[in-house]
Amino acid sequence: MKVSAEEIKRVKGLGCLKDKRYEDVFNVRVPTGCGRLTSEQGRMFAEAAERFGSGEFCLTTRLTIEIQGVRFENIEPLRAFLAEHGFQSGGTGSKVRPVVACKGTTCVHGLIDTAALAMKLHERFYIGMHDTALPHKFKIGVGGCPNNCIKPELNDIGVMGRCMPELDAELCRSCARCAVEEGCPVHAAERKDGRPVLGGEGCNSCGSCLALCPFGAVKEKLRGYKVFIGGRWGKRTGVARPLAGIVETEEELIALIERIIAFYRETGNPGERFADTIARIGFENVERALLEKQG
């Protein structure tokens, strides 16, 4: 059967994207929160793919499950089946898109619990703002450390775990060969007067130095979230810029993200990505507006 253009547009808004090879076949996207599923949920998706699609499903770049080969007449039965198991198709349109997170929760380099944070952001902004129209699509990425595995700086909002170190001068023994200086992965811990200088220019706050000193002279000064705004990846690309300071608590982070989305909703022009809104208004002006509200 041939599906009308109106119906193709309607079901696209439900997360069902037409397979260009066929007249009546669609790939149905199902947001997962952060790409983490239980074995039971995995079996459910396998059953859904077998009953309503081609028997195959894949993960998209935004960690949504895409059930492939779903004929038009099977879309609603599939969506009803998903709803029975606590899932809904979606992830398209000019609104907050599914949140992406790295595995920083369990990663040796992870500085924050990315999975738990991503699920909170998913519930608050993807689900909670599902009916809130924005000027354009809006993406949020959560990375556990400066390794940038999920490239948070290529999202409209990027969140990155950071750990600021400090030196306990009483424990530092001014070793002839400093383990902190030699072990810093970005070679930022240069010595001055026989002691490593931490947190200066070039330091990316990865926290690796905390475990390097055998005498425990490097301490954790601050652990929190670095927030970037205005990244994009697609037909036009751009790297997000960091807001000043480090957000120390999850509550402050969520409040800041709320202000950023509200600012974009109020000041963005229809069809304008957040990066273009920032360029039009000026980064410094946007940053001032966001951080003054925080104060």
Give the pLDDT confidence of 32-61 residue by residue, as tens digits. 988 889 999 999 999 999 999 999 999 999
Choosing from 28, 53, 84, the residue where a domain stops is 84
* pLDDT tens track for 78-100: 999 999 999 999 999 999 999 99
Whichever domain contains 128, its CATH number is 3.30.413.10
Distance between CA 160 and CA 283 in Å, rounded? 19
Percent residues over pLDDT 90 in the chain: 93
* pLDDT over 70 at 74, yes or no: yes
**Half-sphere exposure of residue 288: CA atoms within 13 angstroms, side-chain side:** 5
Q: Is residue 57 part of a domain?
A: yes
**157 and 175, same domain (yes or no):** no
Q: Is residue 92 part of a domain?
A: no
pLDDT-derived band at 13 (thresholds 50, 70, 90) equals very high
**152 and 252, same domain (yes or no):** yes
Q: Is residue 62 part of a domain?
A: yes
Whichever domain contains 42, its CATH number is 3.30.70.3340
Q: Is residue 91 part of a domain?
A: no
**246 and 203, same domain (yes or no):** no
**154 and 228, same domain (yes or no):** yes
Whichever domain contains 172, its CATH number is 3.30.70.20
Mean pLDDT of 146-165: 96
**123 and 35, same domain (yes or no):** no
Q: What average pLDDT is seen over the chain?
A: 95
**124 and 250, same domain (yes or no):** yes
**49 and 64, same domain (yes or no):** yes
What is the per-residue pLDDT for 294?
A: 61
**Half-sphere exposure of residue 15: CA atoms within 13 angstroms, side-chain side:** 24
Choosing from 54, 84, 114, the residue where a domain stops is 84
Tell me the backbone φ, ψ of residue 152, rounded to 5 degrees. Answer: -60, -25
Q: With CA atoms as reference, report the closest residue to 18 among 61, 50, 66.
A: 66
* pLDDT over 90 at 31, yes or no: yes
User: Measured in whole angstroms, how far is the alpha carbon of residue 19 from the centre of its chain?
Assistant: 27
Q: Is residue 135 part of a domain?
A: yes
pLDDT-derived band at 201 (thresholds 50, 70, 90) equals confident
Choosing from 84, 117, 145, the residue where a domain stops is 84
More confident residue, 201 or 248: 248
**244 and 283, same domain (yes or no):** yes
The interaxial angle of helices 274-281 and 283-294, nearest 10 deg, is 100
Measuring CA to CA, how many Å separate 50 from each of 15, 46, 210?
Answer: 19, 6, 49
**235 and 214, same domain (yes or no):** no
Q: Is residue 89 part of a domain?
A: no
**126 and 240, same domain (yes or no):** yes
User: Total domain count for the chain?
Assistant: 3
What is the per-residue pLDDT for 196?
A: 92
- Which positions ≥6 away from 293 have C-beta within 8 Å? 259
**47 and 141, same domain (yes or no):** no
Percent residues over pLDDT 70 in the chain: 99
Please, what sign has the CA dihedral across residues 10, 120, 33, 20? positive
Q: Is residue 93 part of a domain?
A: no
Q: Which domain holds residue 64?
A: 5-84
Please measure the distance between the N-terminal and C-terminal CA atoms of the chain and give it in whole angstroms.
Answer: 58
What is the per-residue pLDDT for 11?
A: 97
pLDDT-derived band at 1 (thresholds 50, 70, 90) equals confident
* pLDDT over 60 at 295, yes or no: no
Q: Is residue 157 part of a domain?
A: yes
Q: What is the DSSP string of 218-257?
A: EEEEEEEEEEEE--B-SSS-B--EEPSS-B-SHHHHHHHH
**48 and 175, same domain (yes or no):** no
